[in-house]
């Protein structure tokens, strides 16, 4: 570059910055000549008079787009140095290297004007204090920004046109590859095919992504994954199947044989510090730009993909879903409180041995009428209602309803098909009118062309409505399957091979939700059942568990509890034909639990026979605390007899006395105090 009179000693006394940038990493790897030319600007700076130690190369933005200066560390460094007055000139290969955004370039130009900094590119030297240079450089910046806009528009238009034909190639998920003709086919590797097929099979079996992951972990199986980008691009590796990988596969429509484009969109946000951050957001299925069903052979059908989508939404607890879990509580997830309207949760004690439904609202909202009920009380009543409902009569009603739904669906689809035919006729008619017009008559041609485009848009809307009607219509159940359900359901329900989760799914197929209604007494619970049809039923069940002993049995225990042992009370209760709260005969242990719940103590009968003394009497004779003797008796270290009432009786003969006195003598903790001789 020839010496310029604009370069003055005040500029040469400061630094000269050479700004090196490429928009993408691919350009850094492939467009090496451009990078070399930019580094060569250091020689031009030396020719203009800057010393080697004054020339600073800033290449931190290699591989960074110039759309936003706030995202480029190198650009921010240049702006900071200019503001501090350390820079005499900034060199770039062309003005677009400084910034594709006109706002960034304008800010740089204003700062350069205020600090008397030159901007130099291959076309010349720009003094921003000169209005002509400022006008010329601003015009070049605007042209660079507009050029980028047109380039991006043409590129995106070409991509969209190829995508609408299903020909735009993009990375395929593992299990699908491109063949020699560019068509999408299944991976010829049978091991990869088997892994992908088993993933979907496990989901159909388990019903959740977590169940798929656990099934693969339990079998010690690995799952393939293809790497993209970098030196290992396209290579296949096997690793542990994670929950995120399962969801990624289940949500990918390519496995259903569909070609899609525009499933996500870019969102930009301005951060509090002024930087702009870009992120990708998933779009709803109806908002995808291109969807071509049956584009290639898939691992599942499109209807199966839609069913998986619905099931995953039903498993998403973050959006209010309450899916079936593994616990024994049958109504878990679909039960609510009829007093405060809050959620009723499930609490398990001693593992799964005992489940309880309890209102889980905050204490500030919880009312005294909010119930806590043993799960078996509600589950038994609801399951009995469910099994009684599935009878042959109800199956006949279900078949009639199924026929009505099928007829309604046919009528709906027929209406959509007729709408498509009408829209296609109107579009063809508009096309013929446009084709027959004379080319010279542009006024009429433009009007007919606009009408044709409007009719084509209506045809596209009608076809989309028909496709949506087919996609959202679940298949009607088979008649023979419904008829066999009435006979097989009770046996299936009671089968030991049926899991708790399967029973919950069967229950939820007909029952929408269950409500614990306010009850008039504490010994019963009112249960409201709402079916998916909108019908409701109300049940009343006796409450089981501690504190739910029948009144007659409790009265008998209180009357004879002070004079009878638990064994004697159990015999008397069973003889009277009384049962426990769970409907079972009484046992000594059961009576003891009733005593403990209602504080009915067992009789302290004098069961000491001749030659026996009590623990307290023995402790007094030995001069030691009674707790020491109780400890020996519990551990079986000394002889004694336990009476039916639970009282310890010690045979106080000379041999037994010798054993007890030896225990006292051998203990270093016990110090006898005034033992009695009686």
From residue 306, alpha-carbon distances to 250, 312, 413, 471, 473 in Å are 10, 10, 18, 8, 10
Q: Report how far residue 118's alpha carbon sits from residue 124's, in angstroms, rounded to the nearest whole number.
A: 10
CA angle (354 as vertex; 339, 337 as ends), nearest 5: 10
The residue behind tokens 């501690």 is 546
**Neighbouring C-beta atoms of residue 618, cutoff 10 Å:** 21
**What is the 3-class SS of 186-230, one letter each residue?**
ECCCHHHHHHHHHHHHHHHHHCCHHHHHHHHHHHCCCEEEECCCC
Edge-to-edge strand ranges of the sheet holding 641-642: 612-613, 648-651, 641-642
383 is catalytic: no
Q: Report how far residue 488's alpha carbon sits from residue 482's, in angstroms, rounded to the nearest whole number.
A: 10
Kind of pairing between the strands at 87-91 and 290-292: unpaired
Q: Report how far residue 625's alpha carbon sits from residue 673's, in angstroms, rounded to the nearest whole number.
A: 10
The residue behind tokens 């070609």 is 259
CB 329 within 8 A of CB 357: yes
For the residues of 233-284, what is the DSSP string, one character each? TT-EEEEPPPHHHHHHHHT-GGGGT-EEE--EEEEEEE-TTS-EEEEEEE--
Active-site position among 23, 96, 208, 614: 23
The encoded tokens of residue 212 equal 């798929």
Half-sphere exposure for 379 (CA within 13 Å, toward CB): 20
The residue behind tokens 């296609």 is 424
270 bridge partner residues: 276
Q: Report how far residue 312's alpha carbon sits from residue 211's, in angstroms, rounded to the nearest whole number.
A: 12
Edge-to-edge strand ranges of the sheet holding 344-349: 344-349, 354-359, 372-374
What residues are annotated to the active site? 23
């Amino acid at each position: 570059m020839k010496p310029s009179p604009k370069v003055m000693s005040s500029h040469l006394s400061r630094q000269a910055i050479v700004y090196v940038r490429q928009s993408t990493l691919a350009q850094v790897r492939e467009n090496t000549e451009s990078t070399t030319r930019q580094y060569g600007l250091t020689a031009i700076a030396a020719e203009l008079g800057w010393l080697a130690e004054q020339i600073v190369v800033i290449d931190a933005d290699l591989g960074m787009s110039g759309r936003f200066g706030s995202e480029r560390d190198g650009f921010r460094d240049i702006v900071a140095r200019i503001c501090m007055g350390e820079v005499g000139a900034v060199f770039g290969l062309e003005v677009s290297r400084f910034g594709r955004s006109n706002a960034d370039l304008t800010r740089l130009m204003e700062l350069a004007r205020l600090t008397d900094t030159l901007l130099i590119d291959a076309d010349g030297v720009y003094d921003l204090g000169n209005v002509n240079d400022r006008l010329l450089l601003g015009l070049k910046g605007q042209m660079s920004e507009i050029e980028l806009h047109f380039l991006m528009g043409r590129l995106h238009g070409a991509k969209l046109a190829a995508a609408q034909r299903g020909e735009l190639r993009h990375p395929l998920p593992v299990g699908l590859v491109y063949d020699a003709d560019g068509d999408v086919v299944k991976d010829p590797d049978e091991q990869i095919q088997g892994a992908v097929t088993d993933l979907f099979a496990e989901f159909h079996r388990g019903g959740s992504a977590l169940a798929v992951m656990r099934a693969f972990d339990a079998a010690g199986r690995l799952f393939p994954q293809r790497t993209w980008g970098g030196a290992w691009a396209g290579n296949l590796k096997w690793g542990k199947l994670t929950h995120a990988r399962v969801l990624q596969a289940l949500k990918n429509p390519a496995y259903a044989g569909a070609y899609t484009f525009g499933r996500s969109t870019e969102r930009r946000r301005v951060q509090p510090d002024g930087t702009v951050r870009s992120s990708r957001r998933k779009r709803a299925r109806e908002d995808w730009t291109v969807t071509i069903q049956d584009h290639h052979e898939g691992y599942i059908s499109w209807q199966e993909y839609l069913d998986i989508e619905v099931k995953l939404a039903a498993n998403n607890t973050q959006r209010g879903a309450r899916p079936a879990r593994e616990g024994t509580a049958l109504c878990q997830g679909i039960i609510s409180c009829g007093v405060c309207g809050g959620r009723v949760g499930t609490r398990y004690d001693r593992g799964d041995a005992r489940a309880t439904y309890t209102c889980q609202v905050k204490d500030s909202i919880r009312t005294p009428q909010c119930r806590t009920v043993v799960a078996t009380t509600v589950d038994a009543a609801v399951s009995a209602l469910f099994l009684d409902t599935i009878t042959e009569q109800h199956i006949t009603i279900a078949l009639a309803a199924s026929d009505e739904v099928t007829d309604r669906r046919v009528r709906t689809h027929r209406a959509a098909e007729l709408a498509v035919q009408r829209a296609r006729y109107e579009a063809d008619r508009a096309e013929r009118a446009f084709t027959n017009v004379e080319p010279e008559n542009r006024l009429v041609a433009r009007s007919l062309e606009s009408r044709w485009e409007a009719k084509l848009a209506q045809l596209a809307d009608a076809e989309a409505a028909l496709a949506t009607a087919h996609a959202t219509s679940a298949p009607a159940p088979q008649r023979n399957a419904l008829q066999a359900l009435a006979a097989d359901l009770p046996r299936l329900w009671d089968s030991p091979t049926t899991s708790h989760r399967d029973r919950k799914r069967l229950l939820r197929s007909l029952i929408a939700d269950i409500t614990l209604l306010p009850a008039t007494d504490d010994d019963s619970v009112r249960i409201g059942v709402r079916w998916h049809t909108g019908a409701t039923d109300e049940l009343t069940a006796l409450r089981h568990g501690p504190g739910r002993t029948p009144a007659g049995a409790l009265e008998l225990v209180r009357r004879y509890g002070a004079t009878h042992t638990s064994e004697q009370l159990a015999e008397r209760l069973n003889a009277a034909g009384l049962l426990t709260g769970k409907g079972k005969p009484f046992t000594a242990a059961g009576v003891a639990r009733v005593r403990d719940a209602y504080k009915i103590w067992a009789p302290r009968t004098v069961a000491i026979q001749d030659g026996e003394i009590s623990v307290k009497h023995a402790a007094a004779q030995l001069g030691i605390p009674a707790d020491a003797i109780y400890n020996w008796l519990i551990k079986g270290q000394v002889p004694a007899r336990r009476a039916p009432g639970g009282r310890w009786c010690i045979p106080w003969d000379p041999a037994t006395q010798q054993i007890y006195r030896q225990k006292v003598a051998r203990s270093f903790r016990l110090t006898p105090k005034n033992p009695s001789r009686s």
